[in-house]
Amino acid sequence: MQAECPDLSAIAGRKYRLSRDESYHAEHGRLGRAEDPWTLIVSCRNGHVFPFGRGLLAASTNQRGPVAGKLLAVEGARVHQDADDGVTVVFPESEFKTVAKIMRARLRRQWSDAQRAKMQAAGWPFLPNVPSPERSQRAKTAV
């Protein structure tokens, strides 16, 4: 039985930049388009955050040092892996905002309403942070 995966796109998708883990294309092919929540990651300046299990996320740092110490101070956090080149810390998903601040999670580009209106008037075909109706419909039918 596979553990339930926390939905990173719901937790962080509107504010932070999401990408796929390196293993995504190995599992789903070079042109794979599978919806696999286990391979979503939040890119950060100090590493990345990824799903770990039911109600849990993990943060993996790029190096040892003060960032690892700050992560361990987060309520409910515990070390999963400690290595010479970084630390992996598991924490409850309710602490995501705190961890994102410590890890310096990369933000998505945000347009103001004025910028969006200006681009829409100019006929710009793609507007960031506006969910497409077909994707929203797909998400509703998948549940």
CA atoms of 10 and 8, how far apart (whole Å): 5
Residue 1 confidence (pLDDT): 41
| Per-domain residue ranges of the chain | 8-108, 111-143
Residue 81 confidence (pLDDT): 87
Residue 101 confidence (pLDDT): 93
E-strand ranges in 3-139 read 18-20, 40-44, 47-53, 56-61, 78-83, 86-92
3-class DSSP assignment, residue 32? coil
CA distances from 7 to 42, 79, 94, 113, 127 (A): 12, 22, 12, 28, 24
Please check whether residue 61 is in contact with residue 83, taking contact to mean a CB–CB distance below 8 angstroms: no
Residues of the chain falling short of pLDDT 50: 1, 132, 134-136, 138-139, 143
| Model pTM above 0.85 | no
Residue 127 confidence (pLDDT): 63
